[in-house]
Structure 1
């Protein structure tokens, strides 16, 4: 799987030009398309982190760009600067002849549901949210077992720390971010037990996915308190952590994308959640005529949609190899990674 992820990540092209809230950016057909376009327009609305968040919004847009290259279909996005933009942006895209509209992030769950009820002839999909057995016929949920890569990076942090104190910065508290937090804590715990020592995990939430300055302030506090490695699940807020790690000479652990390019000497590794692959695959199915509504797709290690980068220059080889063995145990069910406080407490017994 690690080879597959390396190939996927190396193929991603990062956008050089972004747009503000209320302005759409589109990518049409190219000479590389594999089949003629069918005018099945696909669009997305970002959460407040924006399309250039170096995280899951950006990854989602990259997935749609790849979709456009393959199919020739027109893709576009609208950015949300604040939560009140969700409804407005969804309405704009509904009026623009889009047949599939994505909401990026669990914070858009209510807005997507209401838009779907109003526009029953349009398909909607949402990243990081499931409506369970109440999912409307024109809505698709996409979720990830984010606790799995978080466990792996937690294990690596536990095997790497020299101070026996590491940290976690969350964006906004939610069941989705719980997956990252408790998966990470479980991985640290697993490493600590393996090494026969105690490793403390400091946890703090920024209550934002877009405030890099707050992320940096929290990180600086953690580093000053003795943490030498801090993992984030905070979108654009986490960019502040990486800046702080670079200035302090400590390690940060990235999220969603391989964030090593932001600070090659100070990003230990990243917990990959390849939203781009999920967005591309589900959209392709919709374009092909498959019914995708009324259900939830879930992706994890088995599906090759989460993991860590194949290249981790700051991780010792023996630690990386041990982490890969743990991936295999998660895949075959030997290790069931906790995803919330309750399952973490059971794991910790």
Structure 2
């Protein structure tokens, strides 16, 4: 019996995806939006947050489709982007992380097609770029982490030592933006706090993330900040199994390990997608420009686990947020 190779499966998947796009096109003239992914749903983080924006738009009558793809099959990412661009069926095409080179190649070939590129930037006249002030949201996470690490009365799983950690996917500018903000926030509470920074090397290896989290905790970290996409599920489990604290990211991950996850730093991907669809639909989107979503316009934020974080600590973090929003404090960034 002859087996089909993984590469052949990817080609077949691309062909089937293109056929499905054509078959799914309805007769009525609805505003339409499609998301070409470089990953799958089910991460309980970035991708699932993005989906909420398309779900909201769908309730408004927008025809939507999300094209998932294996994170290890970049050929399929490109095929899907070319297929939707060639189809002429979509008013706006969304794509995001890992798709910079693909979009840079495809978008100029379709000057009349509108694209929204989120969590990255591409300066083309038919592309609206969307970024998030993850440094601002991470600043709040850093404040909370430093308090939790050193306040044994309110956070009994901590040793009381000023030691925290970031376990991150890859050493990229956007990830460094998380780290810079997190360190700054923590230092405002405990100036000499120790912050371990550990990179997994990818965003999908949850087992490696788990192991590295256990290492960080063995090295003294009382709180571990998850900045690792789908792999971050391993970080949260690692912290829970070691009976220490963690902070989630992108979506509300507090319920995954409710005795250990203090809060989640939300990158409101879904809000920005829903807002962008409305702008494009209303003819107000500024293509060729960059739009940033931060604390002031609810593009990022911190959602607490109320069972673990007392009101007095929330007040400290919220006071820090107010200083950022009113301009009294400027959060450092990895983007110069």
TM range (shorter): 0.7 to 0.9
SS at match of 1:148: helix
Taking the aligned partners of 1:233 and 1:125, their CA distance within structure 2 comes to 23
Q: Structure 1 stretches of 5 or more lacking a match?
A: 1-19, 29-36, 343-349
Q: Which residue in 1 is equivalent to 2:144?
A: 156
In the alignment, is the contact (CA less than 8 A) between 2:136 and 2:181 conserved in 1?
Answer: yes
Structure 1 residue matching 2:99: 3-state secondary structure:
helix
- With structure 1 as the length reference, what TM-score do the two structures score? 0.82
CA contact (8 A) 1:45 1:80 kept: no
Answer with 77-86 or 331-340: which moved more: 77-86
3-state DSSP class of the match of 2:170? coil
Summarize the alignment of residues 1-349 of structure 1 with structure 2, pairs less than 5 Å apart.
22=14, 38-48=29-39, 50-82=40-72, 83-96=74-87, 97-105=89-97, 107-131=98-122, 135-161=123-149, 162-193=160-191, 198-309=192-303, 311-340=305-334
Note if contact 2:236-2:257 (Cα within 8 Å) is conserved in structure 1.
yes
Preserved CA contact (<8 Å) 2:177 2:335: no
Equivalenced residues, count = 306
How far does residue 291 in structure 1 lie from its aligned partner after superposition?
Answer: 4.1
User: For structure 1, which segment, 210-219 or 285-294, has the greater mean C-alpha deviation from structure 2 after superposition?
Assistant: 285-294
- 1:151-184 alpha-carbon deviations (Å, 9 max, x no partner): 1010111011023211001112111111100100
Instruction: From the CA coordinates, give the structure whose radius of gyration is larger.
Output: 2
Structure 1 segments of 4 or more deviating over 6 A? none
Note if contact 2:121-2:130 (Cα within 8 Å) is conserved in structure 1: yes
Which ranges of structure 2 fall in alignment gaps of 5 or more residues?
1-11, 150-159
SS of residue paired to 2:265? strand
Question: Shift in Å at residue 138 of structure 1?
Answer: 0.8
How far did residue 287 of structure 1 move? 1.8
User: Which moves more between the two structures, 92-101 or 120-129?
Assistant: 92-101
Partner of 1:8: none
Measured after TM superposition, the shift of residue 93 of structure 1 is 2.1
RMSD of aligned residue pairs (Cα, Å): 2.2
* Cα distance between partner residues in 2 of 1:73 and 1:282: 15
Paired with 1:87 and 1:341, the residues of 2 have a C-alpha distance of 27
Instruction: Please give the alpha-carbon distance, in whole angstroms, between the structure 2 residues aligned to 1:163 and 1:47.
Output: 40
Q: Is the partner of 2:303 in helix, strand or coil?
A: coil
Secondary structure of 1:293's aligned partner? coil
286-295 vs 313-322, which moves further? 286-295
